[in-house]
Structure 1
Amino acid sequence: MTLFDNTRVLVGIALILVGSVLFVPAILPNASTVSTYALVPAALLLTAGTWLVGTSSDSSAV
């Protein structure tokens, strides 16, 4: 069984990628208020994705 056979890992990686993309508009110059509000869901998606990947195996999470 490899790392990518686990559904939790694949969902976690997808959430990490989407969360990372949501950070991009807020770091650009002249960022609007709406792009600043996108930081909240971006942080939540990154947290959820990291949690899913970190707890996907039976061993203890690092």
Structure 2
Amino acid sequence: MDFTKKGLVGIVLMVVGTLAFIPGLFPGATTLESVLLVPAAAALTYGTYLVGTEGQGRPV
């Protein structure tokens, strides 16, 4: 896979968003961990958008 800078930033955001999401999923999550779910979801969503729109032309 030949990613541009935009695609690499998207991949990093997806990894960071996923890792930030994990602590808030457990039953004993603190309030801070629950609040961090919002920026984690935003990073994951934006990273997915960047990777999805990274290529040229029609998707295969």
Q: Normalising by the residue count of structure 1, what TM-score does the alignment of the two structures yield? A: 0.84
Amino-acid identity (%): 45
Q: 1:46 & 1:61 partners in 2: Cα distance?
A: 21
| Structure 1 unaligned regions, length at least 5 | none
User: How many aligned residue pairs are there?
Assistant: 60
The residue that corresponds to 1:45 in the other structure is 43
RMSD after superposition: 1.6
Residue 12 of structure 2 aligns with an amino acid whose one-letter code is: A
Q: Partner of 1:10 in structure 2?
A: 8
**Greater than 3 Å deviation, 4+ residue runs:** none
- Where does residue 25 of structure 2 map in the other structure? 27
Which ranges in structure 2 are unaligned for 5 or more consecutive residues? none
Q: TM-score, normalised by structure 2?
A: 0.87
